[in-house]
A and B are shown apart, each in its own frame.
Chain A
């Protein structure tokens, strides 16, 4: 089946997500859909998958016009969307998962025998070596992918959309999924492969399309392009590289990691951060940077290797231990990890400092206010009354409250994981200023981010991670978006 999407336009409010995008894929072809976060890839595929409807534009299947109002309609037309979070029921065997929602019935009961046989037939046709009776929970991530793909085929899908299928897979697992994709290709199935990983794209894909800010910037045959060209297309040429040019003396070594390993997240990571320095760590989803620093903060246990704090080796046992050692950690995903929604602004901002806010053994609201007010002024937090709910604040101000909480602990080392996630542009710049001020004051700051621009904006140097390994260090003129993107995609 040939799919072609023509002149697709979609905006959410004032935000133009897709501007007149043309995209097509043929049966028997693996097409890479590329772009940075927010480039519009997911929106485009959600339109094809019937999850959302375009404002303008047409979808043609084999030349015939179609409009999808729901994922079910799109599936009926032969288009299956395999999301990053797989849609399998872990406690059921593989064959039952294959028929979820469309169970085969015999006399009103589920026809297990029939389901088993059909699954077996399909698996042997595709050369899959999974016993259909195996519970899904016993499969590794790659086999789960494979089960999900074969389920799509069972539903007679002829176009399969895969959203970053290799993110959570190890190298041999990726090979296994790729073998499956090659088999499908021979059977004339068309595959849309959404990915960040250019090395994989070069290996498996036939054609490509690159989106940037909702516009199709390039497309064609993979054999006519290169990793360097693709990363340039993804980032664009008008790259802003404002070097820091900080002349402040960087101090003693604050934190050193020696061959830190915690499978399956990261391996043999060695790095060092100095007081007064801002170190960036970047990479794409699944690079292990968050897990690495969660281990340093005592949130993930059981790492191997050595952590050296101010020239003293330490074994970090728990979060409270890390706190005592002067490490602060602003987590990613504010809503899940940082915001205590039922507590007010003041409590959210002072929870790590209750001990210091006491009078006669009881927490004193006045003392809480005193120490919070200082941070509020410094961070320019715009808020009503401190006893208002934290949810009354904008994303940027919520993030500043979380930041205030950590600054109150006067950390020697501050780890910021995606510090500007869900924050508007103005607040973003303010947070960058705060980071730089902290460094000036001698704090060792580590910024984890998936945005190359952010890394370039605030970091003195940066490490790029790929699949749990530090692949390179960039600084000065090597710290530019194209280079970071190339390294982060494994190029």
Chain B
């Protein structure tokens, strides 16, 4: 608050105003309403408060855990969209990097590393390293096509999306789908009696990326490029590099999501893994208040956006809306969220 505004307004009002001015005000409000509705739907029919609370908490852990992988993908998508681009390839990248890892290590003992006698933690480390590298590489290809060859982001990533999934499906027909048993510890090790590791990964990455967005040159440059590419360039921003790097970051985060996904389930479905991730991630980003035209948005917003969609899904489940219909609500909330944001901007 500026000095003059504080002087002119009573403290209480200025605090409220400050809140309402916050870009995430309405997003937070929607989430709060969702959570209240969901809590009511869950019911209070428990013998004690402790029973109710543990059931409520377990439900929450379920929601968060199930959405952690796509939540991580959405974080990368946020940077891409703020830079003025879009990454449709995330779902296919997930399956491609998963495949690279499975070729190196898999539970049928026909993984390359397993045959070479490398097993256990070293093998996992190499497998995960290869996956992260592959994800970053696919991102780099997207990034170079967009920044250097000046392809529209939509087209470039639509192309790599098709290529990644099709090539993976073809070459993975004979490769085992299971990971070694120990590998699942990466996601399934219990902490405090619950499987919350995926949630912790998600939140830790979100916290780091929040700092990246706000406090690093790269992060600020992403906003600058998305808001006014020409002005950014004339201010000495390496526009091509920034544009390429957001896709590398996106690909890298997708690989992390892939590792968590595989470790969580213990296997990989080469046909369907990650499918629909691109749209779910974009939905979370948009509901979280990030502008599709670039320049505006936040990591925290995306986390809230993801939660809104996840809690809504849970709520629909609790009140008995059939699964096929739930996607319609997802579509609806995206449209409503953006309409609300537009209205807010106009007022």
Contact = CB atoms under 8 A, between A and B. Distances in A.
Interface in B251-290: none
Contacts of B183: none
Interface in B198-231: 211, 214-217, 220-221, 223-224, 226-228, 230-231
B220 A342 contact: no
B232 A340 contact: yes
Q: Select the residue from A336, A337, A354 with max chain B CB neighbours within 10 A.
A: A354
A388 B2 contact: yes
Given A337-B231, A342-B227, A320 B216 contact: no
Contacts of B48: none
Interface of B: 1-2, 4-5, 211, 214-217, 220-221, 223-224, 226-228, 230-238, 295-296
Contacts of A331: 234
A355 B221 CA distance: 12
A338 B4 contact: no
A201 B226 CA distance: 45
A405 B235 contact: yes
Contacts of B5: 384-385
A385 B6 CA distance: 11
- Name which of A342, A347, A405 has the most chain B CB atoms within 10 A of its CB: A342
B227 A341 contact: yes
Interface of B is mostly: helix
A342 B2 contact: no
B236 A319 contact: yes
Nearest to A331: B234
A44 B338 CA distance: 43
Nearest to B296: A342
Contacts of B211: 362
A385 B4 CA distance: 9
Interface residues of A, number: 28
Nearest to A386: B2
Contacts of B230: 336-337
Given A354-B220, A385-B2, A338 B238 contact: no
A338 B234 contact: yes
B231 A339 contact: yes
Given A320-B236, A342-B295, A362-B211, 5 more contacts: A297-B234, A341-B227, A351-B224, A351-B237, A352-B235
A84 B226 CA distance: 30
Given A331-B234, A338-B231, A347 B220 contact: yes
B226 A384 contact: no
Contacts of B232: 340, 351
B217 A329 contact: no
A347 B223 CA distance: 10
Nearest to B226: A342
A144 B214 CA distance: 48
Interface string A53-93: 00000000000000000000000000000000000000000
A323 interface: yes
A319 B234 contact: yes
A319 B227 contact: no
A299 interface: yes
A434 interface: no
A337 B220 contact: no
Residue with the highest number of chain B CB atoms closer than 10 Å, among A339, A351, A362, A364 = A351
Contact of B236 (A323, A336, A342): A323
Contact of A343 (B216, B223, B236, B238): B223
14 contacts: A299-B234, A319-B236, A341-B295, A342-B227, A343-B223, A347-B220, A347-B224, A351-B237, A354-B220, A362-B215, A362-B216, A363-B216, A385-B1, A405-B235
B225 to A, nearest CB: 9
B228 A363 contact: no
Interface centre among B215, B227, B236, B295 (most CB of A within 10 A): B236
A343 B158 CA distance: 30
Interface string A280-308: 00000000000000000101000000000
Interface in A330-366: 331, 336-343, 347, 351-352, 354-355, 361-364
